């Protein structure tokens, strides 16, 4: 992909670019990419705009095929892609538009601790977190469950953990979908997926998943920050993970199965990785039921992880987690499909919204936003890389009108994992991070190089685009002081 994408792009404004329908025969709608000129250069090198155009061929797609500024090449739909299909007009669902790590997402915890209080204990804290939070390829949890209990996790999501004392009810109030999507059906999940999920609840995994201790270094919106309970100089904790091998298995099986359904429904797509089925078809409904199982599994996983994190902080600081003010700010899903209602050309329609590497960003007064945040809008958690900033944003009405209530999900890869490993040595990277005051521990030798800051776009530039485009607004910025990688 070194030669880059050579297709036509029309500039709408400084932060929006269009791929016209005329670019390729069969495109049902245009593509729209959110980016500035600097980010667009790397996006074109990655060829991800081709996947934006490919997605525009999906049956039932409405308005446009969207891409956020953190877009990069993915399986079928680009990571950072958003697609909406009309359920009542033959609209499809595609596993490639959700992704392999179903409900990969981020939750952020606020604390009453300050950076001055934590820095003297950061080495002990990071070592304790690394020892008590299973991470890395194939990591296994001390939370063992039978197949019957695993099925309950699929049905109850984060409530399964709460019922066992791994958190409090208020955590559910601060989790997207209250930590559970209704309509999950364990009978649509294979034995192999059950097997892969049986011992991974409460594990971080590998790749870009992380656990990060951060210090808030800038407040942009005093009112929203106050509602979220975040203060300048305070410590926050971010957990990034998903449904692990369980969700991966579901995506793999249904992606392959849907290739065989294309002819049945007379569907033609330019890339078999976009294999799909009508939402209302038996195949579409089966995938949705299995996807919801994985989504619920992921919310439970992050809830269990947060419980472990709270326990570590209690031991290191000798104070209960409630007294440390360790309440959940919000938990967002990144790789998921949901049925939502939108006004399309004056008519309210049921749409299947695919958000792959994209975050829901509902604005003020949206009934899907919990009452505690409804006045200002939904929190949007945007992690960066382990050497730069992360952000809390807030959703907007403009996002609901323009992007099906969606915004970016992170920095977005700039380099492949292989290229990143070849670019710089692990120990050089550790020295560079230490020089910035960032303590890092990783389970896998290659993970640090794969996830180096230079392998990612600058999250500050990505956030500038969505902020200036008005599809989410900056609330506060954090910087890492301690990181656990898988």
Residues designated as active site = 409
Cβ atoms within 10 Å of 198's Cβ, excluding its own: 18
Q: Hunting for tokens 């936003």 — which residue is that? A: 369
Side-chain half-sphere CA neighbours of 298 within 13 A:
38
Q: Is 390 helix (H, G, I), strand (E, B) or coil?
A: strand
Q: Could you write out the DSSP letters of every residue in 234-245? A: EEEEEEEE--HH
| β strands within 73-199, DSSP E | 79-86, 92-93, 105-114
With beta carbons less than 8 A apart as the criterion, state whether 159 and 172 touch: yes
Closest C-alpha among 14, 1, 86, 13 to residue 49: 1
Q: Starting at the earlier edge strand, list the strands of the sheet with 10-13.
A: 10-13, 16-19, 31-34, 65-72, 79-86, 347-356, 335-344
Cα 394 from Cα 412, distance rounded (Å) = 19
Closest C-alpha among 321, 332, 326, 329 to residue 298: 332
Q: Hunting for tokens 């990143």 — which residue is that? A: 420
What does each C-alpha distance from 208 to 51, 165, 212, 456, 479 come to in angstroms?
Answer: 22, 29, 12, 11, 17
DSSP H/E element including 287:
helix 282-317
Cα 325 from Cα 318, distance rounded (Å) = 13
DSSP H/E element including 123:
helix 122-132
DSSP H/E element including 43:
helix 37-46
Q: What are phi and psi of 167, to 5 degrees?
A: 135, -170
**What sections of 137-234 are H helices per DSSP?**
147-156, 158-163, 169-173, 191-197, 222-228
Q: Hunting for tokens 């749409």 — which residue is that? A: 351
Burial letters 245-282, b for 16+ CB under 10 A, else e: bbbbbbbbbbbeebeebbeebebebbeebbbbbbbebe
DSSP H/E element including 128:
helix 122-132
Count of H-run helices and E-run strands, the chain: 16, 19
DSSP H/E element including 353:
strand 347-356
């Amino acid at each position: 992909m070194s030669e880059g994408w050579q297709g036509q792009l029309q500039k709408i404004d400084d932060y929006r670019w269009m791929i016209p329908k005329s670019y390729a025969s069969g495109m049902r709608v245009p593509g729209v990419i959110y980016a500035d000129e600097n980010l667009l250069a790397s996006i074109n090198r990655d060829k991800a705009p081709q996947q934006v155009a490919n997605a525009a061929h999906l049956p039932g797609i409405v308005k446009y095929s969207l891409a956020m500024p953190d877009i990069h090449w993915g399986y079928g739909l680009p990571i950072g892609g958003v697609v909406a299909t009309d359920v009542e007009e033959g609209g499809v669902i595609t596993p490639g538009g959700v992704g392999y790590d179903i409900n990969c997402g981020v939750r952020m915890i606020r604390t009453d601790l300050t950076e001055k209080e934590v820095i003297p204990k950061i080495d002990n804290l990071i070592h304790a977190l690394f020892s008590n939070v299973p991470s890395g390829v194939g990591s296994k949890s001390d939370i063992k469950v039978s197949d019957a209990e695993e099925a309950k996790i699929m049905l109850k999501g984060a409530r399964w953990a709460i019922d066992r004392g791994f958190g409090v009810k208020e955590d559910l109030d601060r989790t997207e979908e209250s930590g559970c999507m209704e309509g999950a059906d364990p009978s649509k999940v294979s034995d192999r997926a059950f097997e892969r999920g049986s011992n991974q609840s409460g594990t971080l995994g590998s790749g870009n998943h992380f656990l990060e201790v951060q210090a808030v270094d800038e407040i942009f919106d005093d009112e929203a920050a106050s509602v979220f309970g975040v203060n300048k100089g305070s410590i926050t904790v971010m957990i990034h993970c998903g449904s692990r091998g369980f969700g991966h298995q579901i995506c793999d099986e249904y992606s392959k199965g849907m290739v065989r359904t294309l002819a049945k429904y007379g569907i033609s797509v330019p890339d078999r990785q976009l294999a799909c089925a009508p939402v209302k078809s038996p195949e579409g409904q089966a995938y949705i039921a299995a996807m919801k199982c994985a989504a619920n599994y992921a919310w439970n996983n992050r809830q269990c992880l947060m419980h472990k994190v709270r326990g570590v902080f209690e031991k290191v600081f000798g104070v209960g987690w409630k007294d440390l003010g360790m309440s959940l700010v919000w938990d967002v899903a990144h790789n998921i499909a949901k049925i939502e209602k939108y006004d399309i050309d004056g008519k309210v329609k049921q749409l299947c919204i695919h958000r792959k590497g994209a975050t829901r960003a509902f604005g003020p007064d949206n009934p899907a936003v919990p009452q505690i945040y409804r006045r200002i809008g939904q929190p949007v958690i945007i992690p960066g890389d382990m050497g730069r900033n992360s952000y809390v944003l807030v959703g907007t009405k403009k996002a609901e009108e323009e992007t099906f209530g969606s915004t970016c999900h992170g920095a977005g890869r700039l380099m492949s994992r292989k290229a990143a490993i070849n670019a710089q040595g692990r120990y050089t990277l550790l020295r560079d991070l230490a020089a910035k005051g960032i303590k890092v521990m990783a389970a896998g030798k290659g993970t640090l190089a794969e996830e180096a800051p230079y392998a990612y776009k600058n999250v500050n530039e990505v956030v500038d685009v969505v902020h200036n485009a008005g599809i989410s607004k900056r609330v506060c910025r954090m910087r890492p002081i301690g990181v656990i990688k898988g």
